Structure 1
Amino acid sequence: MMSGRIQQLKTGKKPQIVKCILFTEALLFFILLSACSVNRNKRLSELDRDSIDFGVVITTESAYHSKILWFDSELEAAQEQELSYAALGSPFYVPVEDHGELFLIPQGLGNQKDTKKVIGVNKGSLEITEYPFQHIALNHMAAADDRVYAINTLNGVSCLEAWDKKNQSSKTVELPGVHFYCIFAGNHKLFAFDMQENPVDPNKYISTMHVYTSELNLLKEEDISEYGMLSGIGIADSEYLFVTVNVDEEYAPIGKILKIHQDNFTIEEISTSKDSPHAIYQYQQDLIVTHYDPVVDQGTQVSIIEPNGRETFKDLKVTLTNTAIVENSFIVANQAGIYQFQLPSFELLNSYPLNVADGYYVSAVLAVD
């Protein structure tokens, strides 16, 4: 378009007009280009922290590239922060919080998974700290008492590693023949859960709960196969650890919540009348549980369980891939968009459409309010 305009002006012998129009078109082009890049490729120092309440992580396994879309409480003022991580976060777990940091695993490229670190996002400053680990293929993490924990299983050996932030040192516990699949921290202890094939019945699995001190000294081991296997998501209060269970020892779908006492390790069952409980939250006196299967990315219902055991359901009509509670809002993020529901009514307040590029996926919600 610009070359055609220049040719016209040349034939009209108006050099001063040529310069004016060229300058105007160049200016318009610059303005359009700037408009297309507003709030993109932000460095940390360029983010408007005052207008940020939560973030949504979008990542890929095929490149060292992720980004966080930061939003305010009205799903407005979107800002974009670029990060050099592959496979950052996962719908199979939610970011854990300790001392004002939210922790995620950047696994690395899909065919390698060789990024040996856990990252922490400071909720106040949004600064990112990298915590080094000795093992690759990290798949779950926890944090407490100035330590960051992560697990992996390679060549039939499971490793539980702790990074001490104060001493800048690590310690590893190795267990051969089992598969660590989730860990949780609570009350100066670490709860680690493994699974292995039942040698008597290959159609069944054995699941064991290991309880360690924060320094990874073993306190207790207990066979919990009768309860089933955990989803990988849990929450802890001052007394109990609440974890969701979505399959039984034969790997058939079930639905229940285990309430584990953090001091004497007794286990109670809280029933839910729907399979595939996944993420779990405490809101006021109630438990909020999503019913979602991350393997097939299906599930749109949440259950609200009152202290007396009464359970009610809400169908949010959107896939519950990633969720979080931000103040009095329930946030859902999936490949199609981001949705804000009012608590406790679960009335839809706002939505924000997403156009996720091929090969990328939404992997986490970061509540930093």
Structure 2
Amino acid sequence: MAGVGDFIRLYEEVPGVAGHIDVRIKEVEGKYKVRISITQSPRFFEISLKNRRVDEVPIVTARICGVCSMAHLLGSVIALEKALGIDMGEKVMKLRKLIEVVGIIQNNFVHVLVALPDYLGYRNLVELAKAEPAIVKKFLKLNTEVLKVYGNIAGRFTHTHVIDVAYQGKLVTRYDLEKASKILASVSKEAAGLVSELASKWRDINFEDPAHNYLTVNTPDYPIIGEEIATSEGEAVDVMRYKEVIHEEEVEYSNAKHCTYRGKPFFVGSRARLLRNYSDVSKEVGDYLSQLKLNLSNPFDNVKAQLIEAHYLTLVAEREFADLASAVGSGIRLYDLSKLKGSGEAASAVEAPRGLLIHHYNVRNGRVVAANIITPTAMNSKHIEVCCEVLINKLKSEGISRLDDL
């Protein structure tokens, strides 16, 4: 029997979504303290990159995360190209951005589906599929259609081999781009209907974020890939100065670092991106924001934010694929300068599905001599810990024993 001052293990893993986590609660002088531990084994990616050729590095970093391998691939490729002074041109960079947009759309749909039982009152996805088979089938159809787009423009979904440093290994034709636009037009209509259907079924969990700071990529349009980091205080920071705003700290109880924004917990991801671009998003999908009653100051509404973001990005990508198709002529050609050698240092800022991702490299004679990678998991960990602590103490003070009653 655990006594006062002892840590209590609540969950060893959260198997509904990728990842391994421990949540531990400790009572200290009548208040509860929480520790969030990422328990996946450390893999030492940054050390393993040392002395590797630059064209080898993206293939390795893509393995950091299977479901967001493209974000790591692009983050690595873009930072290394900047370090070597390589310019791939506007059309290739637009294509890369759209590939990452499609990846976010797909990942959001899947994550909403696996999280949905908690918000519709079911114990797991099996129960949801039995009670609401039409909803599950719609999500699966959306996933299938988005993966078709991905395959046409980027090859295989996980660990694609067609993008590398100064390398475009797939001929993407005008027809491919036009087809992507047409498929996404259909997906956006399906997604809109799904938002409306779920609005009446969603069970809200009321909770106010105790730590409102967030970071995203800073761009004039919706943040995906950029040269700056945007803060919730309206500041734009060059990505090479990321250490001025993001502090990484090793914690003894977790295999992931904890990050703070100038000493304060912060969050990244769909909710942060929507907050950063709320005006533009609300102009286009304002009705759906209202239907879902999206509250961006509530961390539990991040799942709603993912659904809204996926719908919004299908509309954006539909237009941008059509625009790119009109601009490329016959298509985006194969390109290979990957054997170039050089020296330099650079960092990139890319939005992975779960949020801001930083890749930073120092290159000498075509080989990496130092690397630093900050993942959304590291950035979100401290924020999740703080939110859990506030939530549990709120439950205690209000005499609530079940999350359903919150």
Q: Quick check: which one's helix share is greater?
A: 2
| TM-score bin, normalised by smaller chain | under 0.3
TM-score, normalised by the number of residues in structure 2: 0.21
Q: Quick check: which one's strand share is greater?
A: 1
Q: Which has the higher contact order (CA 8 A, sep 6+)?
A: 2
The structure having more radius of gyration, on CA atoms, is 1
